[in-house]
Structure 1
């Protein structure tokens, strides 16, 4: 059982032949992928915990403004968006239920990885993931009850409380270990976090390979389902960012809440479908989590790439500004008479050193550069 935000678990209904025709067979290969990627995910979550400071984590829990905004997006915007998309595209009832369940599943560990890559607030990201998983025990049944009454199939939905508990455990234990390492051995924690970032890249690539190999036939679906799978993650990313911006959260938190909203827990959705519906119904329903999970990765990668390009450009402009200031100081120094530095030079030199001290580092450039506003 993986806490990952992308499903790689084979459906247990292959003996009927229905899902196997959709490319969902090969239980052995699926098990190998599932175990391997679950171990890698645990290592990534542990490495992310190594950059979390216990004091900052406690401050988020003590004053949960950021957490509250994120939870409002996860259990407010996403279920409503799922319901409206299902109605707007007039999908079949079974497909509509799959879309709605996807919208009710809070963010998984993919959101933590993306947040790390965009220099987001890791303390907020990990605390949000843990809190949303706990609240899912009550909020998922409530959201499904409110939005699913339009379809009769909703009466057979089973909430996987056991799986939610396992997901929470797989988050809390590695995070706690990482926080402890960072507290006692900060230098070791920095090294572990760098290794974890590389493992995260391998993990994303592995998930993509697993999806393409195990579920190749699942892409043969209605265009409406494909369109929703592409649009829905983007709605989550954009709405989460705009909501955080509207409530005047810092830029770093805006990016964090955006990924926590759009990167849903696809594993949890797939588990609920498998526990609740017949193999014949799953043939229509099981495709959507795969499509959503694939495009939440694609869209997330595009957003990360855009941010990294912006950060490099901003850093380049900062370096150019410092070079210009240095040239100004050199010229002023050359104009000094009798080896004495005039007051103008002293003022400009102090300005330059002050500016250099305040130059954002690579991980801080997004929080407000000396030239451009942050994202």
Structure 2
């Protein structure tokens, strides 16, 4: 760029940079408030969900981490490949393609734990997957980005936000650990905390959705990136569910892995975009990250609504067929292969009486 352009106050590049700076400064207070409030809410939500985690079940996932392994394969296998194919298929510019790849390489976010709870998923597996994917991101994010970005000539180096990953890991592990301890020592109180956390988690989803719309207001919109931000989470949910099903995971695990795959950690993506790209690119890239976060919340709420409608229909069907019997839901899990089970394990029927605490497993 010539020296005249740098000195000219009417230069389009300088005007764009000043416009972006003005917009971001004007929204700085809102972002700060949102960051503080969301951090507190996330801590409370993860603490409450930790109250639903049982040490024995958590240890079983870590001792036989087949569900976690499938989830990690979805997170750092399917999602980066999907991001690469979307970037190629839509003929994105290099900086746009890299932003989509960064999103695909991010670990799972806290929103996945909230959605998993509302679809009666495996909370022990969900918390384990979120934690393990965050730890794995320390090595898998640079590796995936190195492999898939070789198709484009980059003029800037990509910076992995290791500090943000560490903060995310601490903010996840510490509240969950306290929740697990509370559930171990005071199980009755833990059930009350869990119910409160579920409500706070629902509010958190609404706050994220509304704030995403507010922060994106007035920003330049790239239609192609918006289309990708709409498609990407859906592809993650569908492919995650299919891979879990093909590896003979239970229906409960299939729902959990599906949600964990499509829900990415938006904060890490935004942090990496800020560290890696100049101001003139951030206008579009921030908009893409916010749009992805908004759409993954909306998709998740639709999944929850569909599941709750199906669950209510099954309950009504049972009442009509057995009006004199207590309300019991039978959820039959598909038989898992011997590679995923210890000797003596098999398909099971879960008897669900009213209340999450009244669950029994009856061997077939």
TM normalised by structure 1 equals 0.82
Contact kept? 1:78, 1:103, Cα under 8 Å? yes
Q: 1:148, 1:25 → 2: CA distance? A: 34
Q: 2:70, 2:168 → 1: CA distance? A: 22
Which residue in the other structure is 2:4 paired with? Answer: none
Which residue in the other structure is 1:351 paired with? Answer: none
Deviation digits for residues 236-280 of structure 1, max 9, x if unmatched?
001101100001100000000001100001110000010111111
> Quick one: structure 1 residues 227 and 311, their matched pair in 2 at CA, closer, same or farther if it must change by over 3 Å?
same
Q: 2:251, 2:271 → 1: CA distance? A: 34
Q: 1:266, 1:252 → 2: CA distance? A: 25
How many residue pairs align between the two structures? 324
Q: How does 1:68-79 map to 2 (within 5 A)?
A: 68-79=69-80
Contact kept? 1:74, 1:106, Cα under 8 Å? yes
Which residue in the other structure is 2:189 paired with? Answer: 188
Q: Which runs of 5+ in 1 are unaligned?
A: 1-13, 327-356, 369-375
Which residue in the other structure is 2:63 paired with? Answer: 62
Contact kept? 1:70, 1:128, Cα under 8 Å? yes
Which residue in the other structure is 1:50 paired with? Answer: 51
Q: 2:111, 2:155 → 1: CA distance? A: 28
Q: Greater RCO between the two (CA within 8 Å, min separation 6)? A: 1
Q: Which runs of 5+ in 2 are unaligned?
A: 1-14, 327-349
Shift of 1:17: 2.4
* Structure 1 position 274 matched with structure 2 position 274: yes
Contact kept? 1:25, 1:214, Cα under 8 Å? no
Which residue in the other structure is 1:179 paired with? Answer: 180
Which residue in the other structure is 1:312 paired with? Answer: 312
Deviation digits for residues 184-241 of structure 1, max 9, x if unmatched?
00010000000011111111111122222222123x4222111101000000001101
Contact kept? 2:53, 2:183, Cα under 8 Å? yes
**SS state of the match for residue 120, structure 1?**
coil
Shift of 1:90: 0.8
Q: 1:182, 1:358 → 2: CA distance? A: 22
**SS state of the match for residue 47, structure 1?**
helix
Shift of 1:30: 1.2
Q: Say what the alpha-carbon RMSD is for the aligned residues.
A: 2.4
Contact kept? 1:160, 1:272, Cα under 8 Å? yes
Bigger radius of gyration, 1 or 2? Answer: 1
Q: 1:264, 1:325 → 2: CA distance? A: 43
> Quick one: structure 1 residues 109 and 266, their matched pair in 2 at CA, closer, same or farther if it must change by over 3 Å?
same
Shift of 1:145: 0.5
Q: How does 1:1-375 map to 2 (within 5 A)?
A: 16-20=17-21, 25-153=26-154, 155-218=156-219, 220-323=220-323, 358=351, 360-361=353-354
> Quick one: structure 1 residues 198 and 358, their matched pair in 2 at CA, closer, same or farther if it must change by over 3 Å?
closer
Q: 2:154, 2:23 → 1: CA distance? A: 22
Shift of 1:113: 0.5
Contact kept? 1:24, 1:214, Cα under 8 Å? no
> Quick one: structure 1 residues 100 and 186, their matched pair in 2 at CA, closer, same or farther if it must change by over 3 Å?
same
**SS state of the match for residue 70, structure 2?**
helix
Shift of 1:283: 2.2
**SS state of the match for residue 199, structure 2?**
helix
TM normalised by structure 2 equals 0.84
> Quick one: structure 1 residues 154 and 228, their matched pair in 2 at CA, closer, same or farther if it must change by over 3 Å?
farther
